[in-house]
Amino acid sequence: MQAEPKKSLVGVEYEVEIGPVAHGGHCIARTDTGQVLFVRHALPGERVVARVTEGEEGARFLRADAVEVLDASKDRIEAPCPFAGPGRCGGCDWQHAKPGAQRRLKGEVVAEQLKRLAGLTPEEVGWDGTVMPAEGDKVPVGEVPQWRTRVQYAVTPDGRAGLRRHRSHEVEPIDRCLIAAEGVSELGVERRDWSGMESVEAIAATGSQDRQVVLTPRPGARLPLVELDRPVSVLRVGEKDGGVHRVHGRPFVRERADDRTYRVGNGGFWQVHPKAAATLVTAVMQGLLPRKGETALDLYCGVGLFAGALADRVGEKGAVLGVESGKRAVEDARHNLAGFDRVRIEQGKVESVLPRTGITEVDLIVLDPPRAGAGKQTVRHLASLGARRIAYVACDPAALARDLAYFREGGYRVRTLRAFDLFPMTHHVECVAILEPAAKGS
C-alpha cells in the first residue's frame, strides 16, 4: 500500500515561548506536541504567535514566522526597514533587534557551534565572547549602518528591482535598501526599469570611485541602455557560458587595503563591508606576527589580499604561495602582486594543488575557505606542514567549528579567536581563529 502523504502544516499558528537563538537567523521554540519550530522575526524569551511557513506533520522541525508578539523582549525595536518582516524581504534577519542585542545573539551562536561541533568553550579558544562592530558601525537604536557595497537585486517580470523573500524565488520590490552602502544607493538602481533582466548586481568600490553593474538577462532578452545616476561600468553574464563579460567601462573595480590597491575583476569576490578587508588583515597579521624570511601559504586567496599583506611582512627573503580556484581571481592576484618576486599564485582547488606543490613544511598558513569550510582532508594536510601559526578566517561558525575539531586531531589548538560583526542586521558573523601546535600551548 502506498503511504498517505503527510499533511502540510503551512499556515497553522501556534502560541509559543521563544527559546535560544540558533544558527541561521532564527530562534528555537516547541509546539505543545513537542515539535521543534525555527522561528524568524522573534527574540529569545518572547511569547509570540508563530505561523508555519514550511513543514508537515511528523517532520523533524518546522519553519515559522512570528506574526504577532504577545510578550516582547526588551531588545526588540520596530524594524527601521519598511520591507522587513514576515513574508517580506529576506535580506536581513535582525532588523527587529537592537544593534547590541544582534551582536550578543551572534556571539551566542558562535559559542554554541564551538561547543556542539568542536567541544570547545570560549575560554579554551581565548575568546571573551564578544562580537566586535566594525569601525563606524555603532549607530543609535533605530538607525542602520550603510555597509553593503555589493547588492544583488532580483527583477520582477515587469522590470522592478527588488530583493528575494526568505527561502523563496519570489521578489519583494523595494525603493531603497537601508543596508546598501551610499555608493550603491546613489546609483538609483531601484528607480529604473529592468525589463528583460533576471538580476542586477550593483558594486561600489570603497578603495576608489569605481562603480559597476553586472546584468544577468533573461533568455533571449536584449540588454537595456544603462543610464544611472552616477558613471558606471557595465558587465553582463553570458547566457551560454555563464561567464562575466565587459559591455563598457572597466572590467574591474579598484579596492584598497593595507596600503595596497587591489584590482577585482568581473564582479569577483571582495569583502562586502567597507571596513572588512582592513579589519581582517589586521586581525590575521596581529595573530600570525610574520617574521622576515618566513614562508607562508594563502589558501582560497581570491585576488591576493592576505598574500599581499604576508609578502610585505616576510620580505625579500621570505616566500608566499597563494592558491585560488577562480581563473579571473588568479589573474587579478598575479596582477596585484606582480611587484613581489617571491609570491606565486597557483590556480586550482586547494585539495588538488597543495599535494602537487611538493611543499612539506611552511611557517605560516592563512585560509579563508568558502562557507562549507576546508574539510577534513585539507585540514589534515595543513596540520602535517608544521606551521608555527595558522590563521583561519571563517564566515560560517558551524564550518569553523567542524574544521577546528579536525585541526585538534592534527595536533593544533586555538590560541585566540576574534569575532566581528561585518554583516549588521543579518545573522552572518566573521571569525578569525589563530592556531598553533598543541605542544607549544601545553
Region of 436 please: left (phi>0), alpha (psi -120 to 50) or beta: beta
357 contacts 347 by C-beta, under 8 angstroms: no
Query: Which residue is catalytic, options 27, 81, 92, 395?
Result: 395
Give the residue among 243, 357, 252, 246 at the shortest CA–CA distance from 297: 357
123 secondary structure, DSSP code: G
Please name which of 142, 146, 151 lies closest in space to residue 134, comparing C-alpha atoms.
Answer: 146
Identify the burial level of 325 via C-beta atoms within 10 angstroms of its C-beta, where 0-12 means exposed, 13-18 middle and 19 or more buried.
middle
Distance (Å, whole) CA 121 – CA 107: 12
In degrees and rounded to multiples of 5, residue 278 shows phi and psi of -65, -40
**What letter does residue 309 receive in the DSSP assignment?**
H
* Cα angle value 289/292/298 (rounded, 5°): 60
Query: CA 420 from chain center: how many Å?
Result: 11
Q: In this structure, are residues 158 and 149 in contact, taking their beta carbons and an 8 Å threshold?
A: no
Catalytic-residue membership of 92: no
- Give the whole-angstrom CA distance, residue 364 versus residue 385: 9
**Residues with active-site annotation:** 395
